[in-house]
Amino acid sequence: MNLLQQSQASVLFDAPGPKARARYTVYSVITIAALIALLAWVVIQFDRRGDQWAAEKWTPFLQPETWTAFILPGMANTLGAAAVATVFALVFGVIFGIGRLSDHAWVRVPAGMVVEFFRAIPLLMLIFFTMAIGGPLGQALTFVFAVPFRIVVDPFTAVVIGLTLYNGSVLAEIFRAGINAVPKGQSEAAYSLGMRKSQVMRLVLLPQAVTTMMPAIIMQLVVLLKDSALGYIVAFPEMLRAFTLIATGEQNVIPAAMVCAVIYIAINLSLTRLAIWLERRNARRGRATAHVGAAPGVDAAVAAVPAASVPTPSVQPDDTPEPVDRDGTDPAGPDAPGGGRPAG
């Protein structure tokens, strides 16, 4: 540790001495040993009571039939529902996030009510409510309004609608926070160029908000992917339900749970790495735009706006008055054509 690092560390807390460092080392060794002992105890207990660590409990995951009949179809259903819900949730979030920032109360108030309503309802209730449209709720509406209300809602549709409404409401707040986080000078500069509010939102504010909130957006999409596991409540054949069937048939709950967890972790880590890559890519693109695309004294976000979208004021050269000195003579001098004559 160099002198600068020591000075920075001393600002926050006192640097530990030799005895303190030795004490921290002892604490670390004791903690690691306790965790290893706890893990060993858990493994031994599972082995004694359920024989979950036996080789035959892991054999089903080495058979191709297990993957083709259960795991891969469940994974495809999980990723399919998450992908469709992601598209709809992003659209929902952008529309209602911008709606909450509208200057018109008749747009802003309903958008806020919709977002707060679906954020307050548990996702499981939304899935159950959607499934009930084709069942008890549809029958009740038919009885009340004396009109046949028959809508068939399959588990896939119920899961997608529930994920869209809940996560879309959360994304709407993320987009709204990102737009509010953009400095006001960005919109003021765009307005000074003659851009309309829709152009400012589409070309200046929203792109910067998405770039700023990209990690939060990706993390919410990770939550959406994990929430798709709630589909097993309505008999949606997603990945968790597939592993539940395997564990029930093979009596290998712990191996099935561990394999399922590894797959979920791999997918979510991939999304996290995607978020990091997008953040770095946008940061590099922003620096390149600031150094190359913007003239001195011009903000990079305004310089990146397409020229076709900015109205150009028309100036007629004939309307520009000729310069006149204070004494009323032509500044071109007496030698110029017409020079030296009193102006006007």
pLDDT in tens, 199-238: 888 888 888 888 888 888 888 988 999 999 898 888 898 9
More confident residue, 225 or 145: 225
pLDDT at 308: 42
Question: Poorest-confidence range of 6-15, 29-38, 281-290, 293-302?
Answer: 293-302
More confident residue, 286 or 302: 286
pLDDT at 276: 81
pLDDT at 333: 53
Percent above pLDDT 90 for the chain: 32
Among 5-9, 212-216, 278-282, 313-317, name the most confident range.
Answer: 212-216
Report the C-alpha gap between 4 and 135 in whole angstroms. 69
pLDDT at 48: 73
Q: How confident is the model at residue 310 (pLDDT cuts 50, 70, 90)?
A: very low
Q: What is the DSSP string of 202-261?
A: IIIIHHHHHHHTHHHHHHHHHHHHHHGGGGGGGT---HHHHHHHHHHHH--HHHHHHHHH
More confident residue, 76 or 54: 76
How distant, in Å, are the alpha carbons of 80, 140, 196 from that of 145?
36, 9, 46
Query: What is the average pLDDT across 89-110?
Result: 92
pLDDT at 287: 59
Contacts of 89 (CB under 8 A, 6+ apart): 163, 164, 167, 168, 171, 221, 224
Q: What is the DSSP string of 282-322?
A: HHHHHHHIIIIIS-TTS-HHHHTS-GGGSPPPP--GGGSPP
Query: What is the average pLDDT across 104-125?
Result: 92
Query: What is the average pLDDT across 309-324?
Result: 49
pLDDT at 286: 62
Just give the CATH number of 58-290.
1.10.3720.10
Taking all residues of the chain, what is their mean pLDDT, rounded to a whole number? Answer: 79
Query: What is the average pLDDT across 16-32?
Result: 89
pTM of the model: 0.69
Assess whether pLDDT exceeds 90 at residue 37.
Answer: yes
Q: How confident is the model at residue 133 (pLDDT cuts 50, 70, 90)?
A: confident
Among all chains, which residue has been given the structure tokens 């003659």? 194
pLDDT at 330: 53
149: exposed, middle or buried (Cβ count in 10 Å: 0-12, 13-18, 19+): middle
Report the C-alpha gap between 78 and 225 in whole angstroms. 8
Q: What is the pLDDT of residues 320-343, one digit of tens each?
A: 555 555 455 555 555 545 544 444
Q: What is the pLDDT of residues 245-288, one digit of tens each?
A: 999 888 888 889 999 999 999 998 888 888 788 778 877 776 55
Among 112-126, 127-141, 177-191, name the most confident range.
Answer: 112-126
| Domain spans, the chain | 58-290
